[in-house]
């Protein structure tokens, strides 16, 4: 890789869009500790108007470097600030980069909050990327977002519902745990959500039977209980038939 000071100077001098992005992408060719210092130097020494011309590729480079080197909190904080004022494409790249960075270090709380914030984004591609990162990093799947995961079960686009179900599977320890969370949930579940949740226990009749017993023994609305029991019975019949 070219000397750090040379790269910063090249970025300062160039006004050509393609050239700027080619220079930035060169940083990802051989990620090293020097790459981290270079990333920080660019943020410190180049004005944001210039950085904005290669920002998408720059975020990509941070992720690629993060796959090989432990990225410091200073860079994580920069990503957080950028997320809050960027368009969907930059936000998406930031979440993807956080996923890469998580393979070499633990994410800080700000980064975890960003990923969870993306679950509420209006754009489905951001929801998908955020779910992928959470599924790969089960320790960041928070019970605080149980209700959001439930609501995402309704999404049919691009497998969002299935990915949300996979995220729920990371935190639902057993059928009693699920039932307790349903009891706490203020918004009623719909039939489709209930059906999806039951599939978490559909690999055996015993698990479905345990879930049925747990549903029957907890104080929840009669409507929700009846929906659960009906769907469980249907699933048990399917399993026994096969």
Higher pLDDT, 94 or 180: 94
Tokens describing residue 125: 């591609």
CA separation for the pair 35, 30 (Å, rounded): 8
Tell me: pLDDT of 174 over 90: no
Dist. CA 33–CA 224, nearest whole Å: 55
Tokens describing residue 118: 């993306």
Cα–Cα distance, 167 to 97 (Å, whole number): 19
The confidence score (pLDDT) of residue 3 equals 62
The average confidence (pLDDT) of the chain is 92
* CA-based nearest residue to 94, from 71, 63, 73, 119: 63
Q: Treating both helix axes as pointing N-terminal to C-terminal, what angle do 222-241 and 191-198 enclose, rounded to 10 degrees? A: 50
Could you give the CA distance from residue 129 to residue 121 in angstroms, rounded to a whole number? 11
Say if residues 111 and 97 touch (Cβ distance below 8 Å): no
Q: What percent of the chain has pLDDT over 90?
A: 75
d(C-alpha 73, C-alpha 117), whole Å = 19
| Residue 94: Cβ within 10 Å count | 27
Class of domain 4-172: mainly alpha
Rounded to two decimals, the pTM is 0.89
- The answer to whether residue 2 scores a pLDDT higher than 60 is no
pLDDT at 92: 98
| pLDDT(1) > 50 | no
Q: Where are the domains of the chain?
A: 4-172, 173-242
Per-residue pLDDT at 206 exceeds 70: yes
- Please write the tens of the pLDDT for every residue from 4-42: 678 999 999 999 999 999 999 999 988 888 999 999 999
């Amino acid at each position: 890789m070219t000397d750090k000071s040379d790269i910063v100077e090249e970025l300062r001098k160039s006004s050509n869009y393609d050239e700027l992005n080619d220079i930035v992408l060169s940083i990802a060719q051989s990620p090293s500790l020097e790459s981290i210092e270079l990333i920080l130097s660019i943020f410190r020494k180049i004005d944001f108007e210039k950085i904005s011309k290669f920002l998408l590729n720059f975020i990509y480079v941070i992720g690629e470097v993060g796959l090989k080197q432990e990225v410091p909190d200073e860079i994580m904080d920069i990503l957080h600030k950028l997320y809050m004022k960027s368009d969907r494409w930059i936000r998406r790249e930031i979440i993807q980069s956080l996923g890469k960075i998580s393979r070499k270090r633990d994410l800080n709380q700000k980064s975890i909050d960003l990923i969870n914030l993306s679950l509420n984004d209006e754009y489905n591609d951001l929801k998908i990327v955020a779910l992928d990162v959470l599924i790969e990093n089960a320790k960041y799947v928070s019970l605080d977002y149980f209700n959001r995961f439930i609501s995402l079960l309704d999404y049919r686009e691009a497998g969002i519902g299935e990915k949300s179900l996979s995220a729920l599977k990371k935190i639902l320890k057993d059928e009693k745990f699920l039932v307790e969370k349903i009891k706490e949930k203020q918004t009623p579940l719909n039939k489709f959500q209930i059906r999806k949740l039951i599939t978490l226990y559909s690999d055996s009749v015993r698990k479905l039977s345990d879930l049925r017993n747990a549903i029957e023994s907890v104080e929840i609305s009669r409507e929700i209980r009846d929906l659960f029991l009906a769907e469980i019975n249907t699933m048990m019949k399917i399993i026994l038939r096969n």
